[in-house]
Amino acid sequence: MNHVLLTNAYDVCELIMLQSLLEGSGIEYTVRHANVGSLYPGITALTPQVFVGAKDVERAERLLGRLRLAVRDVSEELPDSC
């Protein structure tokens, strides 16, 4: 099966939510760097990566869209001085 990168989890808590969402929806997934990021927080190269099968990408992206909170995407709300 071809695996496609679905997303990078921001932290371990988000990874757990992603895993629960995918498992509950019957979508098979693979996680790379699941625990490495907790050893070296802030190093983006080591954030957990969640992969799904190519046939499940569209469904997984729809589910992921429901999980993402507005709090994660605040770039448009930041003042110019930041």
pLDDT tens, residue by residue, 33-81: 887 766 766 666 678 899 999 999 999 998 888 776 544 554 555 556 5
pLDDT of residue 79: 58
- The reply to whether 78 falls in a domain is no
pLDDT tens, residue by residue, 19-38: 999 999 999 999 998 877 66
- What distance in Å separates the CA atoms of residue 50 and residue 73, rounded to the nearest whole number? 19
Is residue 57 within 8 A of residue 28, CB to CB? The reply is: no
CATH number at residue 24: 3.30.70.1530
The residue that leads in pLDDT, 7 or 80, is 7
- The reply to whether 33 falls in a domain is yes
Structural domain of residue 30, as residue ranges? 3-68
- The reply to whether 16 falls in a domain is yes
Total domains present in the chain: 1
Contacts of 41 (CB under 8 A, 6+ apart): 11
- The reply to whether 76 falls in a domain is no
